[in-house]
Structure 1
Amino acid sequence: MYGQIFFGSLLLAFCAVVYIVCLTVTAVSLERLFGHHKPPYAFKHATLLLGAIVVAIVFGHTIVVWLWSSVFLLSGALPNMEESVYFTLVTYTTLGYGDLTLDESFRVFGTMAAITGLLNFGLSTAFLAAIVLKILPGLKAQ
């Protein structure tokens, strides 16, 4: 059990760093791209900015799901990539259907995927909310 916690924590931390880097690269890139545009933002600029952020968020979640899926597959916790991706998506989003479960030797490790999802969805929400609060109050219709 302690090994599952240790390795699960390592993967969780690695995935958090990957996700944070994805969001940071997005923020820096968008600041360079749109930095000369100050509020109030034109509708098209606000739409492009929010669209780019949503794409980056989805991309970041996708990377993390593939990382967890690959580890589940390579560790032998799941027999093939299809089941591994499905299990990871259901666990990462905390849906937890229960139709596919891990062996006892991987259960604690598997819960770390759910914790990773909770953390990353929280980061996504905070990131998106901060951007929306910055963009929308100054939005001018055109």
Structure 2
Amino acid sequence: MIIRLSIACGLIAITVAIQALFMSAGLHALRRIDERRKFFAYRHPTVVTVAWVIYLIFPIIIDVCLWAAFYYVAEALPSFEEAFYFSTVTFTTVGYGDIVLGRDWRQIATFEAVNGWIIFGWATALMMAVIQRLYFREPEPGRHRD
């Protein structure tokens, strides 16, 4: 059990690092767009918001795949497809319960659910920060939204 819990903690650390790298790169790209194309984000906030939300889904997919790979390699679930489905339902904290882990693995799934809760909260906070910047900043002098 200690080994499995250690692996779960390791997976949480890896997924947090993945999320941090994607978020850092995404924020850097948004800053560059702001610097190079001064008014693009200001004039097209919906386009930037949609692109940002889609971009933030990619690290979540990677995170889910890592957890699914763990379940499959550890033989906690019989196929990668089932492991991916279970991981998606667990990471998103939907928890349908149509696929469940055996008694030896149940506690690990709670770690994944907590991991998903943290990642989604973090991504939501960042989405809101970007949305506030796009929609609620003061217009540049002499400029207005079209």
Question: Contact 1:73 / 1:84 at 8 angstroms: preserved in 2?
Answer: yes
Match of 1:41 in 2: 42
What is the aligned length? Answer: 140
Unpaired runs of 5+ residues, structure 1, are none
Give 1:1-142 correspondences, 5 Å limit.
1-36=1-36, 37=38, 41-42=42-43, 44=44, 46-138=45-137, 140-142=144-146
CA RMSD of aligned residues (A): 1.9
Deviations 1:8-60 (A, max 9, x none): 11111111111111111111112112234269911x2x123212211111111
Q: Which has the larger radius of gyration?
A: 2
Amino acid at match of 1:113: E
Distance 1:40 1:63, change over 3 A: closer
Question: Contact 1:39 / 1:135 at 8 angstroms: preserved in 2?
Answer: no
Question: Contact 1:4 / 1:108 at 8 angstroms: preserved in 2?
Answer: no
Unpaired runs of 5+ residues, structure 2, are none
- Distance (Å, rounded) in 2 between the aligned partners of 1:21 and 1:40: 22
TM-score (norm 1): 0.89
- State the structure with bigger RCO (CA 8 A, min sep 6), 1 or 2: 1
- Distance (Å, rounded) in 1 between the aligned partners of 2:122 and 2:52: 13
